[in-house]
């Protein structure tokens, strides 16, 4: 299963694709069973360069308490930093956040790595 994510151009906020819009909550992200459909959505997102930066597909999976990204890094993006539990999306709480917090495994993701290559 896939979801599509990006950072919003204007403020850098982590956003997810949902039926032609970008939403802030992972819990509202559209899930794609079909990889080809996901790639199509990524292509549409790439056509919105003044809205988002570098949209890409991520792997998500049923993780006991609910759906969560497979990669730990993507879960962190969907939650916020672990050292400041009141910062980022996690502050809102709720079942979808709990599901993300409960998921385990997989620190790295593909995608993103070249984002700040000039560091």
Partner 1 sequence: MYRYDAIDREIVADRAAEFRGQVERRLGGDLTEDQFKPLRLMNGLYLQLHAYMLRIAIPYGSVNAAQMRRFADIARQYDKGYGHFTTRQNLQFHWIKLADTPDILDRLAEVDLHAIQTSGNCIRNVTSDPFAGATAEEVDDPRVWSEVIRQWSTLHPEFSYLPRKFKFAVTASAKDRTAAKVHDIGLALRRSRDGTLGFEVMVGGGQGRTPYLASTIREHLPVGHLLSYIQAILRVYNRHGRRDNIYKARIKILVASLGAEEFARQVEEEWAKIDAPTNDLPDTELARIRAAFTPLAFETLAPHAGAYELAKASDPALARFARNNVKAHKVAGYGIVEVSLKTIGATPGDITAEQMDVVADLAERYGLDDIRVTHEQNLVLPHVKLDDIPAVHAQLAATGLASANINLASDIIACPGLDYCALANARAIPIAQHIAERFSDADHAEKVGELKIKISGCINACGHHHVGHIGILGVDKKGEEFYQLSLGGSGAEDASLAQILGPALPANRVAEAVDQLVEAYLRERQGEERFLDTFRRLGMAPFKEAVYAPAL
Report if residue 118 touches partner 1, rule: CB under 8 A: yes
Report if residue 45 touches partner 1, rule: CB under 8 A: no
Report if residue 115 touches partner 1, rule: CB under 8 A: yes
List the one residue out of 71, 76, 91 whose CA is nearest residue 14: 76
> Given the rule CB under 8 A, which of 20-28, 34-42, 74-82, 93-101 is the region that contacts partner 1?
74-82
Nearest to partner 1 of 48, 94 (CB atom): 48
Report if residue 9 touches partner 1, rule: CB under 8 A: yes
Q: How far is the CB of 49 from partner 1 (least distance, A)?
A: 6
Report if residue 53 touches partner 1, rule: CB under 8 A: yes
């Amino acid at each position: 299963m896939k979801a599509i994510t990006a950072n919003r151009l204007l403020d850098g906020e982590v956003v997810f694709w949902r039926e032609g819009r970008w939403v802030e909550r992972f819990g509202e992200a559209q899930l794609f069973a079909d990889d080809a459909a996901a790639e199509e959505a990524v292509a549409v997102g790439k056509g919105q360069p003044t809205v988002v930066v570098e949209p890409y597909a991520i792997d998500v999976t049923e993780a006991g308490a609910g759906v969560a990204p497979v990669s730990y890094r993507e879960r962190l993006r969907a939650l916020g930093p672990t050292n400041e539990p009141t910062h980022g999306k996690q502050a809102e709480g709720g079942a979808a956040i709990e599901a993300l917090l409960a998921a385990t495994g997989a620190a790295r993701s593909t995608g993103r790595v070249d984002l700040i290559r000039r560091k």
